[in-house]
Chains A and B, each alone.
Chain A
Amino acid sequence: MSLRVKQKLRDGVIQGLIYLTVLLVSLIFFWLLFDLVHGGAAHLSWEFLTESPTDAGRAGGIASILVSTVLILLVAMVASVPLAWSTAVLLAELVPAESTFGRIVRFSLYVLAGVPSIVFGLFGHAFFSIYLELGFSILSGGLTLACMLLPILTSTAEAGLRAVPDTYRLSAAALGLSRTAALTHLILPAAAPTLAAGLLIGIGRALAETAALLFTSGYVDRMPGSLLDSGRALALHIFDLSMNVPGGDSPAYASSLVLVSLLLCINILSMKLAYGLQRKKIMT
């Protein structure tokens, strides 16, 4: 066999393998989607979204679950976003990249990012629920989620701030602008798409979280009256329906369909943002 033919053959085999894996990956995704739609679409209706669950979730809808989920999410975001973004500003703008302080903070975030969510759940239970006496409550669950989201929010925001060209900082300084002015008028707006993308990733994580909420926000599926009430998150509802409730399969499927649709929307949104950011970079 001539060298040329050999090379052609090798190229062909490798290309074929790559196509095969791509096909496999998309197949898994579509199979999952198909399974969800197949199992849940029949159960899905407007009433399902607007009624509260009865009979342990076998009947009724998921209205109270959705409300609890949104409340937990809100608490988590309100608590974590300001902290995460100010930490990112500190790391990216105020301390030199190689400083010991920056390294320690970055290392802690790294470790925190790798901690399994069930550990966050246990920590949240011990600290927020028991030590701070918040009990099983939306507040306790939201704050636990906030701890879990800190590393991802901080590192995406820091990366976004670092991606802002130094020339903005230098020319702002050369014009006698204060650091605060440069930050608020130039750097934060320029980093806004990445900050938003990071926010969406965080929201996606929080929506999908089960283990961290198990011992913190609890199981109660009633409509929550306040942040100190226990509230069941959507992912937890699915877990409970499929594990503990015989005959809860079709509502579990329908709930999963809702959750996955939400996650899909959020992912598409964050991809759009990231793409917009990239295009803007190419343009400048």
Chain B
Amino acid sequence: MKTKFGFDIHDNRQIDLDLEDTRFADEVAVVVKSWKACMKCGACVGTCPVGKGVLNLTGINYQPALTTCLMCGKCLLVCPRGINTRHLILEVMNKYREYGKAV
């Protein structure tokens, strides 16, 4: 956003762990336990035909990107931690619906 003073105002880039709400993640992890084992290696993103991968899709802030997932399962084949990524993506979608958010 451009202000009349000539400054740009951006969203706060800092991640404030003090205010973190993990309820959503915890609920998903009840169903797909292996999600917690993600080591953020990025292999799923590297292989994803739409450039997303589970890493980018399942954080609550990335919600709009969920619609671009093709459900191709390539991320499932490369994940070194053996996470059932397709199940995970579906579960995140389910949870969004439950929370009354558009997917």
B is bound to A? no
Partner-A contacts on B (CB < 8 A): none
